Amino acid sequence: MNDAVVLNYHDSLLRESDVRLLEPPAWLNDRLIGFFFDYLEHEYADRAAETSSFVTPDVAQLIKLADDDEIAFVADSLRLSTKSYVFVVVNDSESTTTATNNDGTGSHWSLLVYTRHDNAFRHYDSSPFASNASSARRTALKLTPYLFAANPRFVDVADCPKQANGYDCGVHVVSVADYLARHYFGDDRRSIGEAVDASVVVAQRRRLHDLIYGLAREQRESQAT
């Protein structure tokens, strides 16, 4: 079966099978979420490149499960000790090769964000049952020595919007990360509840679809000139 490439964007490669997951009730996989983190990193490069890091699902999974030597190499390459904001995708998978929800290795996505100005990890979990609390704390503990941060607080964000079904956790991660990037690096001063309401979450799949195909069209046009 041909699974054509739709978009090759910086470190992300998306195929038709990935983009089809934007149709509900599919779970978003690590490649779709990783693409959006790549997009945020480059979208806000002029304001956030030296102060932030967007850690994609595959790298976050390695950090959660790897030994110290491997984590040190990754942390150094990302220059985490110099970052004011670190966005990390969390999954409950125990696989060292993938965190995708679509192959049975994981069942939930959430977002962990470190903010240096108040030395805190904030965990944004759309599950009403705090499904990823253990994985998030484990990831934060692994990251802490490489942030050069002494005893950071861990906060489960109580007002994080909750999902209304069993398959939109990845969409919530994308929506919350998008809002926080605009909040930290742009001019969005709304509360998270105002900015990430049910209508935003519902529309996010279509927005991702349009973003992917819009970038692909721009690439084709650029290559044609």
User: For the chain, what's the residue count?
Assistant: 225
Tokens 């990251």 correspond to: 143
Which listed residue (18, 169, 172, 178) is catalytic?
A: 169
- Whether 169 sits among the annotated catalytic residues: the reply is yes
Residue 125 is a catalytic residue:
yes
Report how far residue 179's alpha carbon sits from residue 175's, in angstroms, rounded to the nearest whole number: 6
Residue 137 Ramachandran class (φ > 0 left, ψ -120 to 50 alpha, else beta): alpha
Instruction: Please give the backbone phi and psi of residue 90, each rounded to the nearest 5 degrees, phi first.
Output: -115, 135
Let me know: does 108 contact 169? Beta carbons within 8 Å: yes
**Which of 92, 125, 168, 178 is the catalytic position?**
125
Pairing of strands 120-124, 12-15: unpaired
Let me know: does 91 contact 103? Beta carbons within 8 Å.
no
Query: Which run of H or E residues covers position 110?
Result: strand 109-115
Of 108, 123, 160, 172, the catalytic one is 108
Number of Cβ within a 10 Å radius of residue 81: 13
Q: What is the DSSP letter of 164?
A: S
- Enzyme catalytic residues: 108, 125, 169
